[in-house]
Amino acid sequence: MPQSLAEIRDLLASRGLSPLKRFGQNFLIDQNLVRKLVDEAGVTPGELVLEVGPGTGTLTEELLGRGCGVIACELDRGLAALLRDRLGASERFTLVEGDCLGGKRHVSPEVVGAIGGRPFVLVANLPYGAATPLMLALLTEHPGCRGMFVTIQREVGERLGAGARTDAYGSISVVAQTLATVRTIARLPSECFWPRPDVASVMIGVERRPEHGIEDPAGFAAFCQRVFEKRRKQLGGVLGREIAWPEGVEPTMRAEELSPGQMVALWRAIGA
């Protein structure tokens, strides 16, 4: 049974801890949603799960209870100590204390080392500040990640699934939809969390496409970022006009007008 709000409060109080806004700590307190997140991930006994921002361990305990191996990455020292005391005896639980990111764009070496090249899935109530760079890094640099099932800021979820010619559409939309399928599982009201966040949240699933056909995902992502940095400038002015422009793509078009498929074709046209 996932932890109730009262249990989470008691666990924190027993250690003299409280939620830290600078770490984006908003604990998921709806027990049904904790179970739903794990259900949607489709994890099986023995499967390896990466969890970032485990907090007091309510989602961690649900995953362990279903037979998964869990690598939990926690930045807060007080919460890391709490998790170590509560769950450290389990052979299927590995705690990485520190930031999940190494720099701004890559998964930390400590997390990568704990994964050890094994296939895994991300299941997490993600701290808002880490969501975009972490998900992009897992998509482009870690093909062993079969999917990501997370609660995140609604704005980020909308960007991941946005279509061309919309304000939310950007490089991460193209990368996510090229390398994976993106679906919204549920919209989450603020009362599902404690403390209540100032922004709306969603639960999403991002499942990797086994045959996405992109030989260099990181290079493709860098290309998308480059053209979207000048999203309202004509592509000919960004990339130069001496290109064998793919069918349906004109030098007078702008990045925000291209579908993910057209962006892939353009990337290939300039030599990937």
The mean of the pLDDT values for the chain is 96
Please report whether residue 221 resides in a domain. no
Asked whether residue 74 falls in the same domain as residue 176, the answer is yes
Asked whether residue 13 falls in the same domain as residue 63, the answer is yes
In the 3-class helix/strand/coil scheme, how is 47-101 assigned residue by residue? Answer: CEEEEECCCCCHHHHHHHHCCCEEEEEECCHHHHHHHHHHHCCCCCEEEEECCCE
Q: Is the pLDDT of residue 272 over 60?
A: no
Please report whether residue 223 resides in a domain. no
Band of the pLDDT at 2, cuts 50, 70, 90?
confident
Report the CATH number at residue 124.
Answer: 3.40.50.150
Asked whether residue 66 falls in the same domain as residue 175, the answer is yes
Asked whether residue 153 falls in the same domain as residue 250, the answer is no
Give the Cβ contact number of residue 236 at 10 Å. 15
Band of the pLDDT at 210, cuts 50, 70, 90?
confident
Say if CB 176 and CB 206 are below 8 A apart.
yes
Task: Provide the domain count of the chain.
Answer: 2
Please report whether residue 98 resides in a domain. yes
Q: Summarize pLDDT for 226-260 with one digit per residue, the tens.
A: 999 998 899 999 999 889 999 999 999 999 999 99
- pLDDT (average), residues 104-124: 97
Please report whether residue 225 resides in a domain. no
Band of the pLDDT at 1, cuts 50, 70, 90?
confident
Asked whether residue 29 falls in the same domain as residue 132, the answer is yes
Please report whether residue 214 resides in a domain. no
Asked whether residue 245 falls in the same domain as residue 204, the answer is no
Asked whether residue 50 falls in the same domain as residue 121, the answer is yes
Q: What is the pTM of this model?
A: 0.96
Asked whether residue 40 falls in the same domain as residue 164, the answer is yes
The first and second tokens of residue 184, run together, are 């919204």
